[in-house]
Structure 1
Amino acid sequence: MRKLGLIGGMSWISTRAYYERINQFVQKRAAPMASAPLLIESLDYSQIYQAKQADEWDRVGTILVDSARRLESAGAEGLIIAANAMHMVYDRLTEAVSIPVLHIADSVGQAMQEAKCESAALLGTRLVMTEGFYRNRLVAHGVDLLPPNPETVEMVDGIIYKELMLGRVTRDAERALKTIITQKEKDGAAAIVLACTELEMVVDTRANVLPVFDSTSIHCRAAADWILG
Structure 2
Amino acid sequence: MKKIGLIGGMSWESTELYYRKINEAVKHHLGGHHSAKLILESVDFHGVMEMQHAGDWQGTANVLIECAQNIERAGADFLLICTNTMHKVAPEVIAAVDIPLLHLADATAERIIADGHNKVGFLGTKFSMEDDFYVGRLKDQYGLDVITPNKADRELIHRVIYDELCLGKVEENSRVEFLRIIDGLAEQGAQCIIEGCTEIVLLVNQSHTDIKLYDTTDIHADVAVNLALAD
> Is TM > 0.5 for Structure 1 vs Structure 2?
yes
AA partner of residue 63 (structure 1): V
Alignment of 1:65-84 (within 5 A): 65-84=65-84
- Does the 8 Å CA contact 1:3/1:227 hold for their aligned counterparts? yes
Is contact 1:48-1:60 (8 Å) kept?
A: yes
Match of 1:145 in 2: 146
CA contact (8 A) 1:130 1:148 kept: no
1:53 matched to 2:53: yes
Pairwise CA RMSD of aligned residues?
1.0
Is 1:100 the counterpart of 2:100 in the alignment? yes
Deviations 1:82-136 (A, max 9, x none): 1000000000111000001100000000000100110011001001111111012
Question: Structure 1 residue runs of 4+, over 4 Å off?
Answer: none
Matching residue of 1:185? 186
Once the two structures are superposed, residues 161-180 of structure 1 have per-residue CA deviations (whole angstroms, 9 ceiling, x without a partner) of 11000000111011111111
How far off is 1:32 after superposition?
A: 2.3
Comparing 132-141 with 117-126, which one deviates more in the overlay? 132-141
8 Å CA contact 1:9, 1:44 repeated in 2? yes
Q: Is residue 216 from structure 1 mapped to residue 217 from structure 2 by the alignment? A: yes
Cα distance in 2, alignment partners of residues 64 and 19 from structure 1: 18
Equivalents in 2 of 1:95, 1:51: separation in Å? 21
CA contact (8 A) 1:109 1:138 kept: yes
User: Retained in 2: the 8 A contact 1:185–1:209?
Assistant: no
Q: Quick one: which amino acid aligns to residue 40 of structure 1?
A: L
Could you tell me the TM-score, scaled by structure 1's length? 0.97
Q: Is the 8 A contact 1:6 1:79 kept in 2?
A: yes
> Partner amino acid for 2:116?
K
Structure 2 residue matching 1:64: 3-state secondary structure? helix
Counterparts of 2:54 and 2:137, CA distance in 1: 25
Q: Does the aligned pair in 1 maintain the 2:149–2:181 contact within 8 Å?
A: no
Matched letter for residue 119 of structure 1: K
**Aligned sequence identity (%):** 35
Match of 1:166 in 2: 167
For the Cα contact (< 8 Å) 1:113–1:142, is it kept in 2? no
Shift of 1:147: 4.3
Distance apart, 1:204 and its partner CA = 2.2
Residue 53 of structure 1, CA deviation: 1.4
Query: Which position in structure 2 is the counterpart of 1:136?
Result: 136
SS in 2 for 1:101: coil
Distance 1:32 1:141 in 2: 38
Look up the SS of the partner of 1:76 in the other structure: coil
Structure 1: unaligned runs, 5 residues or longer: none
Question: Take 1:174 and 1:148, find their aligned partners in 2: how far apart are those partners?
Answer: 15
Give the corresponding residue for 1:175.
176
TM-score scaled by length of structure 2: 0.96
Looking at structure 1, the residues matched to 207 and 103 of structure 2 have their Cα atoms a distance apart, in angstroms, of 24
